A = this chain, B = another copy of it.
Amino acid sequence: MAGTVTQIMTSLTTVTRAFEILDLLWKLDGAGPTEIAAELDVPNSTVYDYLESLTDTKFVNKEKGEYTISAYFLTIAGRMRYRNRLFQLAQPEMRRLSENTGELIGLTVEMGGVGVILHQEGGDQALSLGTYPGASTPLHTVATGKAILAKLSEDRIDEILDQRGLEARTQHTITDPGRLKAELAEIRADGYAVDWDEQVIGMGMIAVPITVEAEVLGSIGIVVPTKRIQDEAYQADLLDQLQEVQNTITVNYQYGQ
C-alpha cells in the first residue's frame, strides 16, 4: 500500500500466459502441466489451472492426461482459406496450370506483413521442399512476395520493411532497401516478378500479382528449378500461361457470381 508503482499499458498477464502455453502445446506437440511449468518457470499448480481452463475452450483437448491443441485450428484455418474468394477462384486455375506445366504452383497472400502460402497445386516434390500451405515467408525473399510488395502503397511497403527488415535467406536474397525498391519499380513496369536462388538455392520462381481496382489480393507463382528457368523460351512460355490465369481470375473476381 505504500509504494504504488503505476504501470502504464501493460498486457493482461493472464492472456499473455494463456497464449504462451497454447503456443508451447503446439511446439511440444502436446504436454502435461510439469513439462510446461518447467519451460515457463511457474509452479505447476498454476499451469494446471491454465490447462484446465484451456480445455474448456474449443482450442485445447485433453486426452489421456495429455493436453494438445485441438482440431479447431484445422477448422479455423480451413475456413479462413475456404472463405477467401481468391482461393476459390484460383484453385481450379492452379490445378490446370500444374497439369499443363508439370511444375509446382503456389498461391500467396500477404497477412501481417509476411507472405503466407494459401494453396499449392502439383509438384510431388512439394513435400520435400518444406513449403506447405500455411507456411509463411518474408515478402522480399521470393517472387510471389515481391509481386505483392510491388503493388502495395509506398507507405505500407516502408511500414513492412521497418517492421520486418530484410532478412537474408540465401546469399542471393536482396538485403538492400534501395535495390529492393528499384526492383519493385521494375516489377511494376514488367507486371511480373522473378527470383532466383533468393529463397532456396536451386529454386526459382516466376510470379504475377492478382489485383482488383488497385488493391492486391495475392499472387500466383510457378516454382521451377533454377537451371530450367534459365531457358528463356521456357520462361516466356510459363509467363504467358501465368498471365492468362491472372487475367481469368481477375475477370471472374470482378464479374463472377
Residues of chain A having any CB pair with chain B under 8 Å: 9, 11-12, 14-16, 18-19, 22-23, 26, 29, 49-50, 52-54, 56-59, 61, 63, 69-71, 73-83, 88, 91-92, 95, 111-112, 114, 116-118, 124, 127, 132-136
Contacts and interface: CB of A to CB of B under 8 A. Distances in A.
A111 B69 CA distance: 10
A116 B136 CA distance: 24
B61 A112 contact: yes
Contact of A14 (B12, B69, B134): B12
A57 B53 CA distance: 18
B12 A78 contact: no
B19 A75 contact: no
Contact of A57 (B16, B76, B117, B134): B16
Given A9-B52, A19-B54, A61-B112, 13 more contacts: A14-B14, A14-B15, A14-B18, A15-B18, A19-B57, A26-B76, A77-B134, A78-B117, A79-B132, A79-B134, A82-B134, A88-B127, A95-B124
Number of copies: 2
A112 B71 contact: yes
14 contacts: A12-B18, A14-B14, A14-B18, A15-B18, A19-B54, A22-B59, A63-B112, A73-B76, A73-B77, A73-B80, A75-B134, A79-B132, A82-B132, A95-B124
A16 B15 CA distance: 9
Given A91-B127, A111-B70, A111-B71, A81 B15 contact: no
Contacts of A14: 12, 14-15, 18
A56 B14 CA distance: 12
A183 to B, nearest CB: 24
Nearest to A77: B77
A177 to B, nearest CB: 22
Nearest to A59: B19
Q: Which residue, of A56, A112, A136, has the highest number of chain B Cβ atoms within 10 A?
A: A112
A12 to B, nearest CB: 4
A193 to B, nearest CB: 20
B112 A56 contact: no
B78 A133 contact: yes
Contacts of A63: 112
Which 10 interchain pairs have the tightest Cβ spacing? Answer: A78-B134, A77-B77, A71-B111, A14-B14, A19-B57, A15-B53, A74-B134, A11-B53, A12-B53, A71-B116
B127 A50 contact: no
